[in-house]
A = this chain, B = another copy of it.
Amino acid sequence: KLTYETTQTWIVVTLVGAAIGLNSALIAIVTDWLSDIKLGYCSEAWWLNQKFCCWEIEARDGSCENWIHWSQALHMGPDVFVVKWIFYVFWATLFATTCAYLVKVFAPYAAGSGISEIKCILAGFVMRGFLGSWTLMMKSVGLTMAVASNLSIGKEGPSVHMACCVGNVISRCFQKFRTSKAEMREILTASSAAGVAVAFGSPIGGVLFALEEMSSTFPNRTMWKSFFCAMIATMVLQAMNPFRTGKLVMFQVSYDREWHFFEYLFVVVIGIFGGLYGALVIKFNLIVAQLRKRYLKNYGVSEAAALAFFTALIAYPNVFMRIDMTEIMGILFRECEGAQGENYYGLCETNGVGRLVVLLLVATVLRTIGTIVTYGCRVPCGIFVPSMAIGATFGRMIGLLVKAWQVSNPDFFLFASCNPDMPCITPGTYAFLGAAAALCGVMRITVSVVVIMFELTGQITYILPTMIALMITRAVGDWFGADGIADRYIRLNGYPFLDKEDHVFGVPVSHVMQSEMTVMTATGMKFKEIDEILRNTNFQGFPVVQDNKSMAFIGYIGRSELRYLLDKARSVYKAHDTTGVRFSPDTNEDPEVLTSTSDVDHVIPGSSDFLDFGPYVDQTPITVHPKLYLETVMDMFKQLGPRVVLLEQGGKLVGLVTIKDVLRYMARIETSNTTDEAIDDME
């Protein structure tokens, strides 16, 4: 039962998973180091970040002699705020500029998140080079710098893109995956799961993300491979142990307090915030994206430099924006009591709440603006982590307010269920909920967010509040439009992609069909004629009919097959312009197995006067009746994945439909941003 084929697949999945884990660990280490370079350097060994430089030699007061702040390096003392600020801004701008330059010169596809494009690729769209090794390399290098520059971007979208590049690069070395699109799609789906898994240390969350967001069909077989790939990647990442914590869970917390019934009120507030945040970011970020497309197409590097400069300038004075977003999330999630409690910047003190609330509010607002203008710029950038960080600052703010309220009015009726001798509110849990809600608001995924959050923090006690917050976020978000940001980018860029939502149009497919088609006729065509059709059109294939009058349907022939046959006819069979070409239907009972035209040397039957391309005609393309509902045809596109559906009535070809036709129709009836030109631009 263990055939060579299956073994090969599992070996490839293992290799891909291991490579993804390795890549992710390396990026984590380099990012950490670059991030710290903004603040200072290690005098013992310049290649160490602050943590490793000061590993176990930290003095009592938290300082460490080996780590030299830039103000010290200039002999101006260890704590000159302005000098530190200037250096911070300088390094940030330098990193972002270098990154944007590298991306522009070596791999333009490495810019952006990549999730939208991979969704389209998994749905069958072809983008050459998008998953190539150059893209992989530049995205990896660029990502370290982009994250270190403290731009308002995250690493999980790029992590998915890089994982898919790894999957593509490795599996292309094997014949089986080169020739089978279905196999390749499975590997890419599994890779995307592993990409999220390593970004968050969340193997199951990764699988669910691939299921909920990436792939429109997800058979058990694919789930199984995604599970395995995510597991291997996570194992390798943990074995590499880039953070030297020995733990997979990134933000270990141990919430042990009961959730009170009155707190559901604030869950609702946080849920509404998540929905509004998502709607706001989606709306304005898309406007920014359109402006960027129109005016900043050739100024990617300067744009990134300017963004990094201003972000760093504004971020440094606010403690909640200065350090890495991942780090700040960990701090905000933490509870104040217990062994792991930490009083970062007075977050746990009971006085000074006002100042903290203002700082957190400012951080929320500024980071939101930063995310709106930054996401989509010409460096590798994701939107998960910024969204979660924004949600966490907002949630912690709410938590602090509720806590302050409860402490000052313990007898208020809402707080009756609080035990008077013990702290009642854990602000960290509000930050946790806020992060989940903001992520759900912007991506419109739910189940995977729940699991990712639990795997991130290692605790599962607050599952019901989390689910309720996400329900509300989703409901509020859907009020403003059902699609997440990835789907909106797909439409903005005009990729031919049918989203997972079900539409009800109530019209027959004949409403959207093309009835003017370029067809091949079974007899009477000349070599030259076909050659000219291929030159003058860019259709992916052509229906074959008996003759132009009867339109009796015979089959379908793809452009690439036809091109190959013509070239071969000319070189081997000495065909000339006036040679006749027939597409005689094959009467053989068994279907042709024509997987690829390139690997076998086919014989074209015929004589010196005419050639017969009949055996190469696909006699069983998907055909439907023109009165079939458009919805059913859309299901066929999504579930069965054909490029074209032919409309046949009583043996007569009456039209054809492609995904583009469907999208064009949808754009016409919906008030949509997708213009007809955008769709016509598609490949």
Residues of A within 8 A of B (CB): 1, 203-204, 207-208, 211-212, 217-221, 223-224, 227-228, 231, 234-235, 238, 246-249, 258, 446-447, 450-451, 454-455, 458-461, 463-464, 467-468, 471, 474, 478-479, 500-502, 506, 508, 510, 552-553, 589-591, 593, 619-620, 622-625, 627-629, 632, 635-636, 639-640, 648, 650-652
List the 7 closest pairs (A to B, CB-CB), nearest first: A651-B651, A639-B639, A620-B628, A620-B625, A650-B651, A591-B627, A231-B467
A214, chain B: closest CB distance, angstroms: 12
What is the bound-complex CA distance between A258 and B249, given in angstroms?
12
Closest Cβ neighbor of A478 among chain B residues: B1
CA distance A500 to B208 in the complex (A): 18
Asked if B231 and A258 sit within 8 Å, CB to CB, the answer is no
Nearest-CB residue, chain B, relative to A628 = B620
Note all chain B residues with C-beta closer than 8 A to A591: 508, 627-629
Q: Which residue of B lies closest to A638 (CB)?
A: B639
**Hey, which chain B residues are within 8 Å of A635, CB to CB?**
639-640
Closest Cβ of chain B to A654, distance in Å, is 12
Contact of A207 among B224, B447, B471 (CB under 8 A): B447
Can you name 18 A-B residue pairings with CB atoms under 8 Å?
Answer: A1-B478, A204-B451, A207-B447, A211-B211, A212-B220, A224-B446, A228-B471, A231-B464, A231-B467, A234-B464, A246-B258, A248-B463, A249-B461, A506-B593, A508-B590, A591-B629, A636-B640, A651-B651
Q: Which residues of B contact A223 (CB under 8 A)?
A: 212, 446-447
Instruction: Report the nearest B residue to A510, measured CB to CB.
Output: B589
Counted per complex, copies of this chain come to 2
Q: In chain B, what residue has the closest Cβ to A641?
A: B635
Q: Which residues of B contact A220 (CB under 8 A)?
A: 212, 500-501
CA A458 to CA B501, docked complex, whole Å: 33
Q: In the complex, which residue of chain B has the Cβ closest to the Cβ of A235?
A: B464
The one of B450, B460, B508, B628 in contact with A249, judged by C-beta atoms closer than 8 angstroms, is B460
Nearest residue (CB) in B for A220 is B500
A623 proximity list for chain B (CB < 8 A): 623-625
Report Cα–Cα, A619/B501, bound state, in Å.
26
| B650, A203: Cβ atoms closer than 8 Å | no
Choose from B207, B447, B458 the contact partner of A227 (Cβ within 8 Å). B447
13 extra A-B contacts, CB within 8 A, seeds A227-B471, A235-B464? A204-B447, A204-B451, A212-B220, A212-B223, A223-B447, A227-B446, A231-B464, A231-B471, A458-B461, A508-B591, A623-B623, A632-B640, A635-B640
Q: Name A508's closest neighbour in chain B (CB-CB).
A: B591
Q: A219-B502, A224-B474, A458-B460 are in contact. Are A1 and B620 (CB under 8 A)?
A: no
Most chain B CB inside 10 Å of its own CB: which residue of A217, A224, A258: A224
Q: Which residue of B lies closest to A590 (CB)?
A: B508
Residues in B whose Cβ lies below 8 Å from that of A224:
446, 474
Query: Given A451-B451, A640-B632, A650-B553, do A460 and B463 touch, yes or no (CB 8 Å)?
Result: no
The interface centre, meaning the residue of A249, A446, A447 with most chain B CB atoms within 10 A of its CB, is A447
Cα A218 to Cα B228 with chains together (Å): 21
| Nearest-Cβ distance from residue A216 to partner chain B, whole angstroms | 9
Instruction: Kindly state the separation between the CA atoms of A463 and B237 in the bound complex, as whole angstroms.
Output: 14
